[in-house]
């Protein structure tokens, strides 16, 4: 399957969608997520691919401004048609006109932001990092304490249910966000807009599972699909469902360079 899809991409790049997650795929996971810069080799390769493929897209849990800042995508030659879906598809940025569309801040997120610091402190988790994304709030436990994420998982799920929010688990992070969007929906919209005949998606974490499911559904309907896992010791949920397993962002960069060299 891998060689067949790759041949189809090279033969018909204009009908190919290349979509990638950001953290753990284009960027290494680091203790301070504000320092998680995209791998420069990956950005260079994406710029080369953006000039020939029908669509290159980033589909991420990050807000669009963060992805732009950490990726260095804006104004980059070759990425004039880049699309970024941020916050699991709730936000959309288009390089063609530089516009970002996003919904209003949900009222349950406003309520969560007000109560969360005290709520965490009462449960002995006052040292975790709270990241307010506007449309979601993430609780980061990396570097704080082993097992804390597991301790918080059930009570945070209960809190999310009380507020009508969705729970998005990840690598040393739990995010509470408004329901209604996921990465699979973003992939389907991208495929429909392009009329894609081939779609490649690369990801690393649980939030990428809906995108994997979308590609599997598209395969069943006749669209060529290639699934890539950026593997880590922290998460293996994507491995068994992937066509290609790469050892983290460095290997992702190498794969993107090899694909770019085909043109």
Q: What integer is the mean pLDDT of 86-103?
A: 96
Overall pTM surpassing 0.85 (yes/no):
yes
Query: Looking at the domain covering 2-103+180-260, what would its CATH class be?
Result: alpha beta
Q: Which CATH superfamily is domain 107-177 in?
A: Trehalose-6-phosphate phosphatase related protein; domain 2 (3.30.70.1020)
pLDDT grade, residue 147 (50/70/90)?
confident
In three-state secondary structure terms, 41 is helix
The answer, yes or no, to whether residue 146 has pLDDT greater than 80, is no
Q: Where in the chain is the domain with CATH 3.30.70.1020?
A: 107-177
What pLDDT sits at residue 124? 87
pLDDT at 91 over 90: yes
Q: Is the pLDDT of residue 157 over 80?
A: yes
Q: Determine the Cα–Cα distance for residues 259 and 228; give it in Å rounded to an integer.
A: 13
Question: Which of 8-17, 49-58, 172-181 is least confident?
Answer: 172-181
Asked whether residue 216 carries a pLDDT value surpassing 70, the answer given is yes
Residue 139: the pLDDT is 93
Which of 27-31, 168-172, 175-179, 180-184 bottoms out in mean pLDDT, i.e. has the lowest? 168-172
pLDDT at 149: 84
- Cα separation, 263 vs 260, whole angstroms: 6
pLDDT band for position 1 (cuts 50, 70, 90) = low
Q: How confident is the model at residue 59 (pLDDT cuts 50, 70, 90)?
A: very high
| Residues forming CATH 3.40.50.1000 domain(s) in the chain | 2-103+180-260
| Lookup: tokens for 30 | 């680091």
Q: What's the rounded mean pLDDT across residues 221-233?
A: 96
- Among the residue ranges 46-60, 130-144, 207-221, the one predicted with the least confidence is 130-144
Residue 2 is predicted with a pLDDT of 85
Q: What is the pLDDT of residue 252?
A: 98
Q: What is each CA distance from 157 to 153, 154, 166, 168, in whole angstroms?
A: 6, 5, 8, 10
Give the model's pLDDT for residue 117: 96
Write out pLDDT tens, residues 2-50: 889 999 999 999 999 999 999 999 999 998 888 999 999 999 999 999 9
Residues 222, 96, 48, CA angle at the centre, nearest 5°? 65
For 46-114, give the DSSP string: HHHHHTTSSEEEEE-SS-HHHHHHHHT-TT-TT-TT-EEEEGGGTEEEETTTTEEE-PPPPHHHHHHHH
Both tokens assigned to 150: 């597991």
pLDDT at 60 > cutoff 90: yes
Quote the mean pLDDT of the chain: 95
């Amino acid at each position: 399957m891998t060689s067949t899809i790759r041949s189809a991409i090279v033969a018909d790049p204009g009908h190919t969608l290349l979509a990638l997650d950001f953290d753990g795929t284009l960027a290494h996971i680091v203790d301070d997520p504000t320092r998680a810069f995209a791998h420069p080799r990956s950005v260079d390769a994406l710029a080369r691919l953006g000039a020939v493929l029908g669509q290159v897209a980033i589909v991420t849990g990050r807000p669009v401004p963060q992805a732009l800042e950490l990726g260095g995508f804006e104004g980059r030659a070759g990425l004039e048609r880049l699309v970024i879906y941020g916050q699991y598809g709730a936000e959309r940025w288009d390089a063609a006109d530089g516009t970002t569309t996003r919904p209003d801040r949900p009222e349950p997120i406003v309520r969560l932001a007000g109560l969360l610091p005290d709520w965490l402190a009462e449960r002995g988790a006052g040292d975790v990092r709270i990241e307010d994304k506007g449309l979601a709030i993430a609780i980061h436990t990396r570097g704080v304490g082993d097992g804390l994420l597991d301790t918080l998982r059930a009570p945070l799920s209960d809190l999310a249910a009380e507020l009508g929010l969705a729970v998005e688990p990840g690598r040393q992070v739990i995010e509470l966000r408004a329901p209604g969007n996921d990465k699979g929906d973003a992939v389907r919209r991208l495929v429909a807009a392009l009329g894609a005949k081939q779609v490649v998606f690369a990801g690393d974490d649980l939030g990428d599972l809906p995108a994997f499911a979308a590609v599997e559904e598209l395969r069943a309907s006749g669209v060529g699909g290639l699934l890539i896992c950026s593997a880590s010791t922290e998460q293996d949920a994507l491995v068994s469902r992937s066509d290609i397993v790469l050892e983290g962002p460095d290997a992702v960069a190498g794969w993107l360079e090899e694909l770019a060299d085909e043109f």
